[in-house]
Amino acid sequence: MYLRRIYINKNNVPIQILADAYKNGKFTDDESIHKNCFSELSKNAFYRLKNRMNDEINKSLLIMHYNKDDATQILNNLTLARIFEFKSEYSRAYKTLKRIEKKAKESELYEYLSLIYDEQLLLSKSYDSVPVLEILDKKKELQIIRTTANETADLIAEISWRLKKSNYTQKGIGIIEELEEIYKTLNHNPDLLNSNSIKLQIQETVRNILLQKGDYSSLSIYLSEKLAEFEKEKVFNNSTHRSKIIMQSWLINSHIMMLEFDTVLKLAEDLHKSICAYKKLHYDNFIWTYYQSSIMANYYTTKLSDAIALLNDSIAAS
């Protein structure tokens, strides 16, 4: 697609011929491609062509995935701002940096935020409209956030330790109630628990502990509660959508382990909607999870025609 766009109205472009030779699978190695398709080229010239093809493929990937997620979009726009600066279009460079600064804050991508502030300060050497003192204050605030990140690690470690030591199943206490009791004993900054990224980290920690214990009943209760809670609090967005899909996948797996296949069928449809969201952002990574769980659930609920139809769909999709 990229080559057709770049070399419009040109046929038999060497890079395209080489790409097709690798793609069609007729040749087993570079030597056979060289011999059959590019015998007029020296070996060095052939490998220069191959390196150029790889460069074109990488460019095409960058274009195709320019806005794949917030982090990728920020990095690409950071590069764009540098290009504007190189071209002495300082106002456009600064507007681009301000736009991605807002996005990095919203998505709590603090490691990218640091890069953006450094780039703004670098731009200030050529562009007087950059508020240097304001940015320096923001960098100080960012240092505090990074310090908080260290405290976060301590918080999660303590929650993990306390939950592993708890004996809630024998005490007859549900997992949600047990976690609420654990939260009451914590001496950490309460604001930590209000951060979306930390909520997701704690969820992952608790999930892994319940998986290690093989406590699928508690896992299903916990994930159902957290998915509803996170949806209400708008924790999920473009950057955190993968976390939602993973939570849904483990919720399905927990009900599979408990042989609750009617529930699996409903949850699988919810998963499919999530997989198709954000222009199918994570579709390729998780579509098999949908097919696998749906086919299994239909089979064990004796809906064999539906299971076969899904199986055929999965084969066609692959």
Helix residue ranges per DSSP H, 24-69: 30-37, 43-64
Residue position matching structure tokens 């592993």: 164
pLDDT of residue 175: 76
Collapse the DSSP code of 137 into the 3-class scheme (helix H, G, I; strand E, B; otherwise coil) and give the result.
Answer: helix
Q: DSSP labels for 221-290?
A: HHHHHHHHHHHHTT---TTTHHHHHHHHHHHHHHHHHTT-HHHHHHHHHHHHHHHHHHHHTTHHHHHHHH
Q: How far, in Å, are 99, 125, 132, 226 from residue 118 at the CA level?
A: 15, 12, 10, 37
What is the token pair recorded at 213?
């214990």
Which backbone phi and psi does 194 adopt, to 5 degrees? -95, -5
Amino acid residing at 286? F
pLDDT of residue 24: 79
- How many CB atoms sit inside 10 A of residue 114's CB? 17
Tokens of 224: 């159902």
How does pLDDT run along the chain (318 residues), one tens digit per residue? 666 666 655 566 788 888 888 887 788 888 888 988 888 989 899 999 999 888 888 888 888 888 888 889 999 999 999 999 999 999 999 999 999 999 999 888 888 999 999 999 999 999 999 999 999 999 999 988 777 777 777 878 887 888 777 766 655 467 777 777 777 776 666 666 777 888 898 889 889 888 888 889 989 999 999 999 999 999 999 889 999 999 999 999 999 999 999 999 999 999 999 999 998 989 999 999 999 999 999 999 999 999 999 999 888 876
Residue 35 to residues 20, 46, 48, 52, 272, Cα–Cα distance (Å): 15, 10, 15, 19, 47
Name the 3-class secondary structure at 29: coil
Residue 184: the pLDDT is: 72
Cα separation of 79 and 96, whole Å?
Answer: 10
Report the helix count and the strand count for the chain, using DSSP H and E. Answer: 16, 0
Residue with tokens 């990074």, as numbered in its chain: 146
pLDDT of residue 25: 76
Tell me how far apart the alpha carbons of residues 119 and 105 are, in angstroms, rounded to a whole number.
16
Residue 43 tokens, joined: 């070996």
